[in-house]
Every structure is written in structure tokens, then in C-alpha cells.
Structure 1
Amino acid sequence: MNVVIACDSFKGSLSAEAVCEAMAEGLAEAVPDVNVTCVPMADGGEGTLGAMVSATGGRTVCVEVCGPLLERRAASYGVLGDGETVVIEVAQAAGLTLVPEPDRNPLRTSTYGVGELIRHALDAGYRKFILGLGGSATNDGGLGMLQALGVRVLDDAGEEVSHTGEGLFRAERVDVRNVDTRLWASELTVASDVDNPLCGSQGATAVFGPQKGVSADLVPVLDRQLGNFARMLEAAVGRCVAAEPGAGAAGGLGFALLALGATVRSGAALVANSVGLEKRLFGADWVITGEGRTDAQTVRGKVPYLVAQLARRYGVKPILVSGGLADGVLGTDGCSAADSGEAQAENWSERLREQFVAVFSIVTRPMSTAEAMGMARLLVRHTARQIGALLASRGGQ
């Protein structure tokens, strides 16, 4: 039996490499003669840099930048094996996991450090960039990053606004005359795991803000401020990009990069190409993929959905293992009232079930999120062992 394990990280608990290793161990316990190929994956978030640098024989460059709370911290970017392309993982400088849960507040977080990473790479002579946008703690529309790259965002007194999300509330004018001109000669590719626009019911604030600390009453207010900032930046650069797919990624950082001329590509597809996933799938019987939580966003560009699509292309049967499943995975009949509207609108759970032979949660009993995360490796291995036993009973077919 030939099995490919191609998992994303379980954010906050296990890296993609650790998830794949735990699954391989569990499968081997149930099926000692199983032939396993591990392909750690990412979709633009945490692990993107490592996966692409490792797959291409590249290297990492360590620098000191501002973190999400504007504290100085070490971060890295990658130089791929071609010696020309830089990979920047936003989570390195503005990641949600870098902010303690009590301090998560997008009005106080910033993407300034992302701009510093870009500037350092520009100073080193690089002009080709892949920017992975997953896992951010920010909702500043890229304001901080733009300021680090020379864009001036001014209040009604002509003073520079804060580098954090609070700056959106004081912004009255955007001046791009001092932007780093090397950007115009650069190739910017956004590796995004989502296709959301900047604003609205499917925008950055409404969909991703709550997990970053945006309270329910602040969502419409912050969404409105993002819209105001977007109109100012669009007028300054002469591009209307707020409604483009991916503009809402990383709290609107996708929008700011699009305004600078970037193009958006599926982060999962970029990583899959770098690690040669399609070649690894050839001749496999099963592929097991996984992520920390499966919900409506999964079918909008996350690793498991892409892996399943590629697997189907080669006649490989896909299985999904998740740290947690949203109610909608059960279908609209099993949804909570809050989830049912989205499920009915997009039929995301139906699309999910069409792709996967089976979907599993690693949680074996009632437990808190913290407990599940602490036990993640054990739970992943246990789930893989059960899957292995089931496949073995079918003769691997």
C-alpha cells in the first residue's frame, strides 16, 4: 500500500513536518509494510518559507525587524535555490502566534516588520518576491508595511499616523511620492490561502477579524475605516484593487501589495509546485492531508482542498484529518444557526464531501482547545493508526 502524507501545520501546536511524521508513525503501527511518502505542505502561512527553501535547496537570511506589537525581534526570509527569488512569510514578522492571546488587538498590531523584510531583501539586490500571507495578527490594510517602504499616511494635521491598525482611524491622506522606487522594478507574487476581498461581509475584518481580537461591535467600524483607507491608497497609485480576490488576506495586506502591483496566486499551488507534489502522487493508492481546523475557508484555497483536487486527477483517493471540524462539515442539517446561512449560500460542506473519501477529526472525547493542542501529536498518531487499520482491512484499496 502506497500512501502520500501531505499535511499543513496544525497552527499553534504542530508544524507540517511534525504532523506528517506523527501520521506516518500511526500508519506504520497499523500497517508495518506501508510505503509512506511525507510531503509537508503550506499555503502561504506558517511553514511556507521552510517548505519552499528546503525543496529548492535554498537558504534563509536572519534579520531584526519590528514584530506585530512593534517590538524588535528576529525574523527570517528565504532565498530559493535559483538564487534570485525571495520568500517572505508574513507570519515571521506579523504572525498571530507571536502575540499572546490577551494582547490580541488589531488596533495595536502592525505589518511594519513585513516592509522591513522586503526592504532588507531589496538592499541585498533581490527583485523577485513571493509573499506568503497566512497567519497574520493584523488588520491594518498593509498600512504599516507601506510606511516601512516609504509611503506616508497622514492625518488632518499633516502628521504621520501610527504604524498600527489605529492609524486607519486618523488617516486622511496617502502620499506615495517617497515609496521605494525599487518596488516598481520588482516582481511581487502574493501567495494567498484565501480569495476574500478587502471589505464587506466576506472581507478581512468580518471573516478573519474576530480570531485576531476584533470585537463584534468593532467589526463594521474597522471595516469602514479599511474602506476609507483603500480609497485613498487607490487614488494615490491609480489602481482599484480592493475588490480583487485575495485583497482581504492577512488583514488587508493583500490589498496593499496588489496596490503596489503584485499578482495573487494560490499559496498552496505555489508550494505544491515547489515540493513536486504531483510527481509524488503518481502511483500512490491514498493521500492523507490535514489542517488545524476544517471550515468554509478550506474550500477557498487551503492545502487540503488543493491536495484532494490533485489526488483525484491521478486517481488517488484522498482522506482529510483535521484538528477540528466546523459544524457545517456535517451538512446544512447539522449546522448551527450561525453556520447554516454560509453553508446554504456556498454549499462548501457539499464541495468538501465531494472531494474526500472520508473526513476525520483527531479529537477523541470532549476536551478544551488547549488540551487538544497539547495532545496534538498523540491524537494525530492515534487517528492515523485507526485509518491504517481500516485501509488494511480493505486490502489497501
Structure 2
Amino acid sequence: MNQPSEQIEHLLRTEAPQVLGALVRRFGRFDIAEDAVQEALLAATRAWTDGVPENPRSWLIRIGYRRMVDLLRSEQARRRREQEAELAEPVRRGSVEPPSDTDDSLTLLLLCCHPALPATSQVALTLRAVGGLTTTEIAHAYGATENTMGTRISRAKQQLAKAGARFTAPDDEDRADRIAAVMRVLYLIFNEGYTATAGDALTRVDLTHEAIRLTRLLVATLPDPEAIGLLALMLLTESRRTARTGPAGELVPLEEQDRTRWNADLIREGTDLIDSVWNRGEPGQYQLQAAIAATHAAEGDTDWPQIAMLYLWLERLTPTAPIRLSRVVAVSQAYGPTRALALLDDLNTRHGLAQDPLTRQRERAVRAHLVELTGDTTTAAALYREAAALTENEVEREYLVSRADRFS
């Protein structure tokens, strides 16, 4: 089968949440509607090779509607009518309704990030239902088998049904928490793409691009300062992607990167975004991280004392192990390795960064670098090797081993 062009693929991903929203409003069954949309998207990749129809959304809704009717009829044949009546509206006959002008993207994001789901399921369901990615694409991005990812997505939809989740906006009491969950999921998707947990590539560009696209979508429907801060953070971070690896695909740390390879357009857009919301109330964690990224991207010498201060502010707001460890790095750049090592020892004593699953590997890498700067290359080499043994990303492992080998 021919691969769809980038234009068609982008169009399908853009239309996917709108088609899904139309089917869910019509039939009231998110779990089955999502399967019907996936089949409509697959049908489009086969049928549109010679050209896109005049109204692609109507085309997709029509195909999805037909498949939805087939799926519901099949389910009705397997289940007793009493059970079916409780779970969904009966199949409606008649012509397909014209596409609505309602943008269902935010409602879908909120549904996919329902509190009944664990974070891994929220991520997978968001990428499939809102992002329009296939199960195969999501499985590849996260280094899982297609069967494993398919089971995860299917179980997530079952959990939503059991929780009584509805395709409606949450009430005011739950809205803030649900939107925070959406931003957290988009942040997780971006981070996994920017530094892949495992595999032979440092990054997964498909995930970073999809996270940015979905965050743009979130900002378009909800111009909240923190959502804008999240988009700014992603753009400013993504601006450095091409400079993070050398000609052979090797990792290049931030302080050694060629800044001329940073994407000036992304830096400009990200900086403008964070500037536009910085004075609109108390900044949240994504705005603070965007401010840090903007300081990195500013022309001239990096203002490391400013970055260290921002990390201290961020740590007080979001006291997590990764934030604390990042503050250590900033303190080292601003005030030297000795002061940073003292801070790292203190944070380890009080918060156990060396044992925390989120920082266990990176703590050793940071400590190795700090110890190296003090001149203790023997200890640094051992720590670099410990850090290398704890990562499943091959590019990162090769970099850490190469650092250790310099002192052998």
C-alpha cells in the first residue's frame, strides 16, 4: 500500500478529533466510535491517493458513520438488549448529519486524560484519539509491541466506560484538574520524544512534533497562560534539537552545542509567547521552565545566576527530583562545581535523588561531571560508567562511556 503524503497525513490528524467528536455526539459510545474513526482514517489513506475530496471531514464522517453502525449492530448481536440499552443510545437510522462547526479537540483531550486512567494510558489514548496516530505508530514510538499497545488502548477505553465518562466538558469544580492533566500528558509526550527512554536514537521527532501540534491545538481552544507557557517551553526546547547530535549521531551537551544550528524561528516564537503571559499573574511550572529555556536561548553569554534563581523558584513550586537535579546543574554553571556538589549532597540526604527512579541515572551523570571539574578523574570515570549502565538509550550510553574512557 502506498504511504500517504505528508499533506494528507497532516490533514487526517487534524480532522481525526473532529470526526470522532461528531460520531460520539451522534451515538454516545466513545470506545466504539474511536475504532470507527481509525478505520475511516485507514480508508482515506487508501482512497485519497489520487486526490483529496472537496469536503474531507464530511467524507470521513460518512465512512466512520457506516462503520459505527456496523460495529454497534455487531455488538448488539452479542449482548443482551438490556445491557446495550444501559451503555449506549440505539443505532439511529437515516442520513448522516452534516459536520458540525464545533471544535471537539479540547473535549476529547479532557476525556482522554480522565482521572480514571493511569498516565501511560492517558498518553496512548491521547495520541490515538486526538493525534490520529495508529496503534503501530504509538507502539513504535514507545518501544512496545503492537499487541501490548493495542491492549493498553483497549483497556483504557473500557476503563472510561466503567467510570461513566461522558463526552461533555467537565464541571467548573473538575475543570482545572482535568486541564492540568492534559498539559501533563502533552509534556510527557514531548519529553519522551526529546530524549527517548530507550532505543538507538536520542530523539523521536514524531513525538515531539505531535506534542507541539496538540499543544497548539490546546492553546487555540484554551488560551490559558500556563498552556501558552507549555507551548513556549516546547518550542524553545525543540529549537535546539538539531544541535544536540553531531555528524555521527553522537550526543552533544548543551554547553558544547553550535548555537548557529539552533532554530531562530522557534526561539523567536517561543520567546514571544512567554513574554506575552509572563506578567499575567503568578507563573506556573511551565511558564517558569519556558523562562529558563528563553534565558538559555537569549543572545550573548548565558545568565546562569538568573537560571539558578528560576530553578529555585520552580523547585519551591514543583518540588520534584528532576527539578532539584536541574538546579544543581545551574548552580554549578553559575557558582562552580564545589558549591554544586555540596548542594547535591544536601539534596541527596534530604530527598534521595540517587535512589529516585526519575533521577537515579542522571544523578550519577551530573555527579560525574561535577567531580571531573574538581579534578578527580578516577571517581568521575567510575560514575560515568555507572550512569551509562543505568540508561537504555544507546546514544546517551555511548556518550557516557566515551567520557569515562578519556580517563582510562
Fold shared, TM-score > 0.5 on shorter chain? no
Report the TM-score, using the length of structure 1 for normalisation. 0.27
Which structure has the highest helix share of the two? 2
Which structure has the highest strand share of the two? 1
Report the TM-score, using the length of structure 2 for normalisation. 0.26
Structure number with higher relative contact order (C-alpha < 8 Å, ≥ 6 residues apart): 1
State which structure, 1 or 2, has the greater radius of gyration over its C-alpha atoms: 2
